[in-house]
Amino acid sequence: MEDKKTEGQKLQERLSYNSINIWNKISGDERKKLDDFCNGYKLFLDRAKTEREYVAEARKEAEKYGFVSFDELVKKDEKLSPGTKVYKIIRNKAMILSVIGKRPIEEGVNIIGGHIDAPRIDLKQNPLYEDSEMGLMKTHYYGGIKKYQWVAIPLALHGVVIKADGTVVNICIGEDDNDPVFTISDLLPHLAKDQMDKKMSEGITGEGLNLLFGSEPYNDEKASNKVKLNILNILNQKYGIVEEDFYTAELEIVPAFKARDIGIDRSMIGAYGQDDRVCSYPAMKAIFELKDIERTAVCLLTDKEEIGSMGNTGAESRLFEDFLAALCAIGNDKYNDIVLRKCLNNSMMLSADVNPAFDPNYESVYDKRNASYFGKGIVIEKYTGARGKAGGSDANPEFIAKVRKIFNENSIAWHVAELGKVDQGGGGTIAQYIANLGAEVLDCGVSILSMHAPYEVTSKADVYTFYNGCKVFYEKMQ
């Protein structure tokens, strides 16, 4: 056929950047693979709503793929051979997976790191009380939530109670269809004049987020606080716990909804906790399936990102450095600190976290030209931070170019974005903590609507593309 393109059109094709919509490129077999992957993701979301559940589920899956406990291998001090798959669990709330490559460890590793905690509402240490013959639980929210989104919805209680003798009791109430659920009450509109006149940030207060837990009194005229007593009795019969056990518990309230398809075309996923499971799950699945790789691959799954990555399960701690040191040292009698330093400085990382998808309902807070969109694939963010990039991590363009090259060569769709308008707000990820150790780090991830809400939305095309991108990064990044 005769080429009817004008000079200008040809020039445009050669010089201008054209973004794509992945859906236009997916058909047949590929669509089936996409759906299968997303169905697995949805099931995982339902089973792993907290960091502890994530670690427990991930461990089960990892073992199916032949991963073994790194701590066990360290005890034997065996030299690891290419293809060995290991996992390390840090205090049941963070996890590192690794597949050993053929290249020497001091040449660096390829890391994809995300977080497995999510915004939620925690029970206070002394939670249970009775007021007006209702049993309630005091709470303290975790991470950046809009409090008004968490009232008048079904909630589930997850976590652990450590009894005086050290016994661990796992709690999960509200996920089985036969379970009861809980809720935080909201004010009826008829009496909400004063509330509705308040600023949104003040309409619901932190101290007002009290979980409705029961209302039936214990049947004994002489006992006091009978609703509370009845609740304690039920908990004691079911879990063998007493009130003081709450003081040594970690109990988290999360939405009781299940992950569902969104849209008449089923092109999206709605679920709680997709920040950052939508990145950490694909990164984990990608490392599960690796074989015959050049550089050692590491998947870093951290806790406490939503409150600043502090503590001994967060990315700001030395958990990653400690793991890498042990990886450099195992079966190597010539180990010294410089091996670890070389490894860190030669390492490359994708810091995998979500980016707010452009939302036509809230156009004014985005720079349309530097926003992420559903269906356009992996979001690359050169830098994070707020108001003048403060507190952010800023990737080196030499490194971004390497990522760009392998994504383009392997048909991985990607686009660039930052977190909203310059002076509107901002945020950060775990990138800076690993960059501080000397590695090259680039923020990238998946576009998300309603970030930090009880029900977050992602595009299936993006979830699947991110998974493919993770595989490419692990396999091809040199």
Distance CA 332, CA 87 (A): 19
Q: How far is the CB of 14 from Mn ion (least distance, A)?
A: 38
Q: How far is the CB of 464 from Mn ion (least distance, A)?
A: 19
CB 335 within 8 A of CB 328: yes
Closest among 375, 388, 395, 389 to 447, alpha carbons compared? 375
Q: Which helix (H) or strand (E) holds 15?
A: helix 7-15
Residue with smaller CB distance to Mn ion, 90 or 116:
116
Residue with smaller CB distance to Mn ion, 181 or 307:
307
Phi-psi bin for 204: left (phi > 0), alpha (psi -120 to 50), beta?
beta
* Count of positions on this chain that bind Mn ion (CB under 5 A): 3
Residue with smaller CB distance to Mn ion, 276 or 418:
276
- The strand pair at 260-262 and 268-271 is best described as antiparallel
* Window 351 to 390, contacts with Mn ion (CB under 5 A): 353
Q: How far is the CB of 117 from Mn ion (least distance, A)?
A: 9
Closest among 363, 379, 361 to 447, alpha carbons compared? 379
Q: Which stretch binds Mn ion (CB under 5 A): 57-65, 259-267, 275-283, 296-304?
A: 275-283
* Window 325 to 354, contacts with Mn ion (CB under 5 A): 353
**Residue 85 — φ and ψ, nearest 5°?**
-115, 125
Distance CA 54, CA 109 (A): 24
117 binds Mn ion (CB under 5 A): no
Q: How far is the CB of 310 from Mn ion (least distance, A)?
A: 15
Q: How far is the CB of 306 from Mn ion (least distance, A)?
A: 5
Distance CA 435, CA 323 (A): 16
Cβ-based neighbour number of residue 69 at 10 Å: 15
Q: How far is the CB of 427 from Mn ion (least distance, A)?
A: 7
CB 435 within 8 A of CB 428: no
456 binds Mn ion (CB under 5 A): no
Q: What is the CA radius of gyration of the chain?
A: 24
Establish whether the linkage from the previous residue to 265 is cis, with ω within 30° of 0.
no
Q: How far is the CB of 52 from Mn ion (least distance, A)?
A: 18
Q: Which stretch binds Mn ion (CB under 5 A): 195-203, 273-281, 283-291, 327-335?
A: 273-281
Closest among 430, 343, 440, 427 to 401, alpha carbons compared? 440
Q: How far is the CB of 415 from Mn ion (least distance, A)?
A: 19
Q: How far is the CB of 350 from Mn ion (least distance, A)?
A: 14
Residue with smaller CB distance to Mn ion, 254 or 327:
254
Residue with smaller CB distance to Mn ion, 250 or 306:
306
What are the structure tokens assigned to 11, written together?
């020039």
Q: How far is the CB of 96 from Mn ion (least distance, A)?
A: 18
Residue with smaller CB distance to Mn ion, 275 or 462:
275
Residue with smaller CB distance to Mn ion, 303 or 475:
303
Residue with smaller CB distance to Mn ion, 96 or 161:
96
For tokens 């597949």, the residue is 99
* Binder among 245, 276, 316, 418 for Mn ion (CB under 5 A): 276
Residue with smaller CB distance to Mn ion, 346 or 447:
447
* Window 286 to 315, contacts with Mn ion (CB under 5 A): none
Q: How far is the CB of 104 from Mn ion (least distance, A)?
A: 33
275 binds Mn ion (CB under 5 A): yes
Residue with smaller CB distance to Mn ion, 182 or 358:
358
Stretch 46-85: interaction string toward Mn ion, x if CB under 5 A? ----------------------------------------
Q: Which stretch binds Mn ion (CB under 5 A): 46-54, 213-221, 227-235, 268-276?
A: 268-276
Residue with smaller CB distance to Mn ion, 276 or 381:
276
CB 464 within 8 A of CB 37: yes
Between the alpha carbon of residue 151 and those of residues 139, 183, 210, 418, the distances in Å are 13, 7, 9, 31
Helices (H), 70-153: 70-76
Phi-psi bin for 472: left (phi > 0), alpha (psi -120 to 50), beta?
alpha
Q: Which helix (H) or strand (E) holds 405?
A: helix 397-409
Site for Mn ion, rule CB under 5 A: 275-276, 353
